[in-house]
A and B are shown apart, each in its own frame.
Chain A
Amino acid sequence: MSYYDYSCRYKNGEGSNAAAFGNDDVERALAGEDPSPLDFWALLSPAAEDYLERMAKKAQEITLRHFGRTIQLYAPIYVSDYCDNQCLYCSFSARNRGPRKKLSLDEVEREASFMVEAGLRQILLLTGESKKESPLYYLRDCVRILRRYFSSIAIEVYPLAVEDYKSLIADGVDGLTVYQETYDEEIYKSVHPAGPKRNFRFRLETPERGAKAGMRQVNIGALLGLADWRREVFYLGMHARYLQDRFPDVEIGASVPRLRPHAGAFQSMYAVTDRNIVQIILALRLFMPRLSIALSTRENSRFRDCLIPLGITRMSAGSATSVGGYTSPLSNDKALSQFEIADHRSIPEVMDVIRRKGYEPVLNDWIFGI
């Protein structure tokens, strides 16, 4: 049974109404060592908003025990922004006219070399979804270059089949990132009006295909702002738990990016405040003590710094979100950025802040080729 079928059992369950929870439910969820799905719902409910400080103390203690005083650092490398999808919230949408770019392998090497000089050893390779412009063999060529520079390579590309993931793993990929964007199938269809991404189920089952293929880490996420965030995060947490139970040797991670301004000007219908993000991170931590939680440069520096001691374990830093964004100044002006960066600090600046918070920035946490 895939997560698609598994998650159906919660669609109309007793926990479907977050407003129905009271203080007793939150207290019970906070008292236990191993919160149930219902407890997780309670921690995401409006009632839990009065318990953020207590949740934070517990989340911090759990995070310290499992991850210590460390924060992993990574950065994205965008190699192509050609895309056949029409996601309403994304700059790479095929509807957005304008120049597109795909890096040559020499350019990939230049970007890699730049990032290594900056100190990075863990990287996330990204493309838009275009089987014509960025087919599997192009990704494999990119990976064969990147592996000369990085100890850990994760990919955030279009969903692939198990066999395709196996071939990328053989080339050196060890992590898969794929966000469901929204777990609400109706809303999913409305914000993905055309293109291969419209297939909700195929995307939802992508993380388990990656885990089956042998990925060491699988990161999932919901793009907050597309639907009611409490329900979204509940399904995200359950997805993480589902993956952890079925693939115990895979490190499961989650992200909760918020919609940011971008070309195309899609306006979020569901606001997600800073306070909400804090509640989300704390609830995820209490529900999944060993979950790796990433925070990107979509969030501003002040907010990111405050979240360091609360349960996040990974941060991107010094990021460029356009194709060739590190080494091609021209493309910086003309090229599309997938999202607006709110934290523009360099890697050394972010490392410095992490240290001042009493944490160690970790640049290297895997051995290539194991």
Chain B
Amino acid sequence: MKEDSLEIGGVKINCRLFVGTGKFPSHQMMQEVLLAAEAGVTTVALRRVDSGAKADNILDYIPSGCKVMINTSGARTADEAVRIARLARAAGAGNWIKIEVIADNRYLLPDNLETLKATETLVKEGFVVFPYMSPDLSVARRLAECGAAAVMPLGAPIGSNRGLKTKELVAIMIREIKAPIIVDAGLGKPSDACVCMEMGCAAVLVNTAIAVSRNPVDYARAFSQAVQAGRLAYLSGLAESVDEARASSPLTGFLHNED
């Protein structure tokens, strides 16, 4: 397979599996998972980074080849997300930001309008911005127009492990949006990730399914392989699927006899 890296903000990312760092039983386990999956990018919630901690700073456990993207988990408004992003950059955590604005604790669905506002502000301030959103074509267009590095629609609610429930909408976004589409949230099985990649997603982001699996390291590996398989299939051009068997003797075959 020829080189097929994803280039975002001047950075080449070789592995299209992004892994979130929440919910793991230990920082060590999270590190093993990132290594096993060879994750290209990892998201870290700034709320979990204790810069004052003498030991056990989560950022110290991120492998060197893995790009850190700080997420704004806990933000309920665009203003809060913007403040978290600025703090992250000031703390030396880089300028890659996943915007996560959630004002609904029951379903944990993102607030697209606030997400758009935060994206506009942060792009202007020089951040590389990855907005997490409910799949909506017009919002995705505006996110891309204002300079989002990628658009990250959810596959299903965070932590639900339900898979790509938003498939039709994501497919439209892939067709219509020039920015990379990265499915984030809800993917429970490696096959879910594979489907996303076959459809033409640029990458997928997985956290809960891996973190709470009985064997997170192997499960992460399985996801990694599924992402590669899906990507390869996409690049090769998927075989067309048909609903019915094709008759070897077509019903209108007799018409050819006229030629």
Name the CB-closest residue of A to B209. Answer: A65
Q: Identify A65's interface contact among B46, B75, B87, B208, CB under 8 A.
A: B208
- B26 contacts partner chain A, Cβ-Cβ < 8 Å: yes
Q: B60-101: which residues lie under 8 A (CB-CB) from chain A?
A: 74-76, 80, 83-84, 87
Q: Are B47 and A364 in contact (CB under 8 A)?
A: yes
Q: Are A364 and B212 in contact (CB under 8 A)?
A: no
Q: Are A290 and B105 in contact (CB under 8 A)?
A: yes
Q: Which of A105-113, A245-253, A269-277, A330-338 binds B?
A: A245-253
Q: Are B212 and A249 in contact (CB under 8 A)?
A: no
Known: A65-B160, A68-B23. A367 touches B208 (CB 8 A): no
Instruction: Report B-chain residues with C-beta under 8 Å of the C-beta of A119.
Output: 53
Residues of B in contact (CB 8 Å), total 32
Instruction: Report B-chain residues with C-beta under 8 Å of the C-beta of A290.
Output: 105-106, 108
Q: A334-370: which residues lie under 8 A (CB-CB) from chain B?
A: 355, 358-360, 362-367, 369-370
Q: Which of A70, A364, A367: most chain B Cβ within 10 A?
A: A367
* A34→B236 CA distance, assembly (Å): 43
Known: A355-B26, A359-B25, A362-B48. A68 touches B212 (CB 8 A): yes
* A327→B90 CA distance, assembly (Å): 35
Q: Identify A70's interface contact among B23, B53, B76, B102, CB under 8 A.
A: B23
Q: Are A66 and B159 in contact (CB under 8 A)?
A: yes
Instruction: Report B-chain residues with C-beta under 8 Å of the C-beta of A366.
Output: 47, 74
- B52 contacts partner chain A, Cβ-Cβ < 8 Å: yes
Q: Are B25 and A367 in contact (CB under 8 A)?
A: no
Name the CB-closest residue of A to B54. Answer: A119
Instruction: Report A-chain residues with C-beta under 8 Å of the C-beta of B199.
Output: none
Interface size class of A (residues with CB under 8 A): 20 to 34
Q: Are B83 and A364 in contact (CB under 8 A)?
A: no
Known: A249-B104, A360-B25, A362-B48. A65 touches B53 (CB 8 A): no
Q: Are A364 and B25 in contact (CB under 8 A)?
A: no
Q: Are B23 and A67 in contact (CB under 8 A)?
A: yes
Q: Are B83 and A365 in contact (CB under 8 A)?
A: no
Q: Identify B24's interface contact among A69, A151, A244, A251, CB under 8 A.
A: A69
- B50 contacts partner chain A, Cβ-Cβ < 8 Å: yes
Q: B101-159: which residues lie under 8 A (CB-CB) from chain A?
A: 102-106, 108, 159
- A239 contacts partner chain B, Cβ-Cβ < 8 Å: no
Q: Are A68 and B24 in contact (CB under 8 A)?
A: yes
Instruction: Report B-chain residues with C-beta under 8 Å of the C-beta of A314.
Output: none
Name the CB-closest residue of A to B22. Answer: A68
From residue A78, how far is it (CB to closest CB) to chain B in Å?
24
* A331→B53 CA distance, assembly (Å): 30
* A362→B48 CA distance, assembly (Å): 8
- B167 contacts partner chain A, Cβ-Cβ < 8 Å: no
Q: Are B23 and A69 in contact (CB under 8 A)?
A: yes
Instruction: Report A-chain residues with C-beta under 8 Å of the C-beta of B208.
Output: 65, 68
Q: Are A249 and B105 in contact (CB under 8 A)?
A: yes
* A65→B83 CA distance, assembly (Å): 28
Instruction: Report A-chain residues with C-beta under 8 Å of the C-beta of B76.
Output: 216, 249
Instruction: Report B-chain residues with C-beta under 8 Å of the C-beta of A364.
Output: 47-50, 53
Instruction: Report A-chain residues with C-beta under 8 Å of the C-beta of B80.
Output: 370
- A121 contacts partner chain B, Cβ-Cβ < 8 Å: yes
Instruction: Report B-chain residues with C-beta under 8 Å of the C-beta of A360.
Output: 24-27
Q: A232-264: which residues lie under 8 A (CB-CB) from chain B?
A: 244-245, 248-252
Q: B38-62: which residues lie under 8 A (CB-CB) from chain A?
A: 46-50, 52-53
From residue B247, how far is it (CB to closest CB) to chain A in Å?
44
* A216→B103 CA distance, assembly (Å): 11
Instruction: Report B-chain residues with C-beta under 8 Å of the C-beta of A121.
Output: 50, 52-53
From residue B71, how far is it (CB to closest CB) to chain A in Å?
12
* A175→B46 CA distance, assembly (Å): 19
Instruction: Report B-chain residues with C-beta under 8 Å of the C-beta of A69.
Output: 23-25, 211-212
Q: Are A370 and B106 in contact (CB under 8 A)?
A: no
A-contact bits for B207-228, CB 8 A (1 contact / 0 none): 0100110000000000000000
From residue B12, how far is it (CB to closest CB) to chain A in Å?
31
Q: Are B161 and A65 in contact (CB under 8 A)?
A: yes
* A359→B104 CA distance, assembly (Å): 26
Q: Are A363 and B105 in contact (CB under 8 A)?
A: no
- A64 contacts partner chain B, Cβ-Cβ < 8 Å: yes
Instruction: Report A-chain residues with C-beta under 8 Å of the C-beta of B23.
Output: 64, 67-70
From residue B113, how far is it (CB to closest CB) to chain A in Å?
14
Q: Are B84 and A370 in contact (CB under 8 A)?
A: yes
Q: Are A65 and B74 in contact (CB under 8 A)?
A: no
* A362→B103 CA distance, assembly (Å): 23
Name the CB-closest residue of B to A363. Answer: B50
From residue B143, how far is it (CB to closest CB) to chain A in Å?
22
Instruction: Report A-chain residues with C-beta under 8 Å of the C-beta of B46.
Output: 367
Instruction: Report B-chain residues with C-beta under 8 Å of the C-beta of A355.
Output: 25-26
**Contact sample, A vs B, 15 pairs, CB 8 Å cutoff:** A64-B23, A65-B212, A66-B159, A68-B22, A69-B25, A70-B23, A248-B106, A249-B104, A249-B105, A290-B105, A355-B26, A364-B47, A364-B53, A366-B47, A370-B80
- Extra contacts besides A216-B76, A364-B48 (10): CB < 8 Å: A64-B23, A65-B212, A68-B22, A121-B50, A248-B106, A252-B105, A365-B48, A367-B74, A370-B74, A370-B83
By Cβ-Cβ distance, the 3 closest A-B pairs, closest first, are A68-B23, A364-B50, A69-B25
**Interface residues, chain B, with chain A CB atoms under 8 Å away:** 22-27, 46-50, 52-53, 74-76, 80, 83-84, 87, 102-106, 108, 159-161, 208, 211-212
**Interface residues, chain A, with chain B CB atoms under 8 Å away:** 64-70, 116, 119, 121, 151, 216, 244-245, 248-252, 290, 355, 358-360, 362-367, 369-370
